Amino acid sequence: MRMAPILIAAMAVALSACGVIYNKSAVVAGKTPQGEVELREITPQSLRAANAEPYTPRPLPAYFSQTAQARQDLRAAAPAPIVDRPARPARLATILPPPVPAQSYRIGVGDVVMLATPKSGGTVEQLAGLLAAQSTRQGYTVQDDGTISVPGIGRARIAGQTVEEAEATLFRHFLDKNIDPNFSLELSEFRSRKVTVGGAVGAPGVITIGLSPLYLDEALAEAGGVRDVDPAYALVRLHREGTLYQVPLEQIQSRAGAERVQLAPGDSVFVGSGYDLDKAAAYFEQQLKLGTYREGQARMLAAQVEMRRAELSDQRESFAARLDLGAERRDHVYLAGELPKQSRYALPFGQRAMLADALFDEAGGVFTQLADPRQIYVLRAARTAPDRVTAWHLDTGNAAGLLLATRFELRPDDVVFVAAQPVTHWSNVVNALVPRALSGSISKSAD
């Protein structure tokens, strides 16, 4: 019996010389061959310092975040506020509409023209019934048939004419009624030429185009300005005669890289996120239903939206294939120690991952027979001094400590290490010794 301890000790020395003794991994603070290691406890107070290092998650491509719902679900004309976007999207494309031809204003249905005559002279008496006795100015609205009805003269068609052409038309009507044509005509209200502005603006609605050209930036200002959308994502879409155009909001505000966009009568403008193609389509569809455009234009709009959706789908499938093949760059965290699975955890696109995500999503958890839940470490090298390592220590011996794991943010190239239980270390030693010892005994017996 006295020989047993001596034999076991001799066996341990012999096997140690052969490199069999199990050496467990551990986190050692202080100066080490790998660099200077600082040990810090993860507490509610230290979380702020641990999460303070600047980090922007890799964003998904902009086309991957655009909505692509079924058309029957696209019924909201106004966009929801854009909040909590993780990162600036890729550069938004600019598709400008063709220039609006310069032309004189032509009177249209709904416009109001003002007919004026001198206060003195026989004209007022001759126009009795034409103009009010107490006034030398009278307004007339152009009716749906394109005419105005002037008492004593009758109906005169002036829609589609310039002011000068309308004066000539009324001049002939005055002569036909043997009335002195001493009058002047002017436009007082512009109601026939208009554009609609909707989406993320302060006052969505209809804006009229007067004698002066109306530009896109002026229309946005008149609609109350852009609201509730991040300028980095904001895109102004314009529908004109069945064709979609778009201009990034930042480009409109800075007027960089493009001329001012002049609007044409019948244009429809929608302001929203570059991701909200479907919401823009819903708004334009609503304008079509209100009779702003012809049925043929509605079909053209629907075809263009479907083409955009198909293009987005192709881009997403290509991205997913590149991701599977490892052709897309990813940020990773590495998992080591006594875990069910030694692996690396890919940090998600567009959002931050927590320590608990890596432990329970990729590693399979830490509550095993081998792992010591009191010794969970996140090893992080300093960005400015790679030879300095901070070992953030989390003790989840009390399971309430796992709440801290749900708030500890991971960074690219972090190493998550879980130490072994003390009994696991000696179990590994025995497991290493016994098979080698038995093998030696069997060999001697055979000899």
Domains of the chain, by residue range, sit at 14-57+330-438, 66-102+193-323, 112-189
pLDDT score recorded for residue 417: 92
pLDDT score recorded for residue 87: 44
Domain 14-57+330-438 shares a fold with domain 112-189 = no
Comparison of pLDDT for 91 and 214, the residue scoring more: 214
pLDDT value at 341 more than 90? no
Mean pLDDT within 207-215:
91
Q: What are phi and psi of 167, to 5 degrees?
A: -60, -40
pLDDT score recorded for residue 85: 41
pTM above 0.85, yes or no: no
CA angle 301, 305, 306 (to 5 degrees): 115
pLDDT score recorded for residue 178: 85
pLDDT score recorded for residue 262: 93
Q: Could you tell me if 263 and 215 are in contact, meaning their C-beta atoms sit under 8 angstroms apart? A: yes
Mean pLDDT, the chain, as a whole number? 76
Query: What is the tens place of the pLDDT at every residue in 225-248?
Result: 998 887 877 889 898 988 888 888
Mean pLDDT within 299-308:
65
pLDDT score recorded for residue 79: 39
CA dist 225 and 305 (Å) reads: 26
Q: Could you tell me if 74 and 281 are in contact, meaning their C-beta atoms sit under 8 angstroms apart? A: yes
pLDDT score recorded for residue 37: 87
CA dist 146 and 77 (Å) reads: 32
Domain topology for 66-102+193-323:
Outer membrane lipoprotein wza fold like (3.10.560)
Domain topology for 14-57+330-438:
Outer membrane lipoprotein wza fold like (3.10.560)
Tell me which H or E stretch contains 113. strand 112-116
8-state DSSP, 375: E
Mean pLDDT within 193-207:
90
Domain topology for 112-189:
wza like fold (3.30.1950)
Measure CA 240 to chain center: 25
Comparison of pLDDT for 43 and 135, the residue scoring more: 43
CA dist 225 and 1 (Å) reads: 94
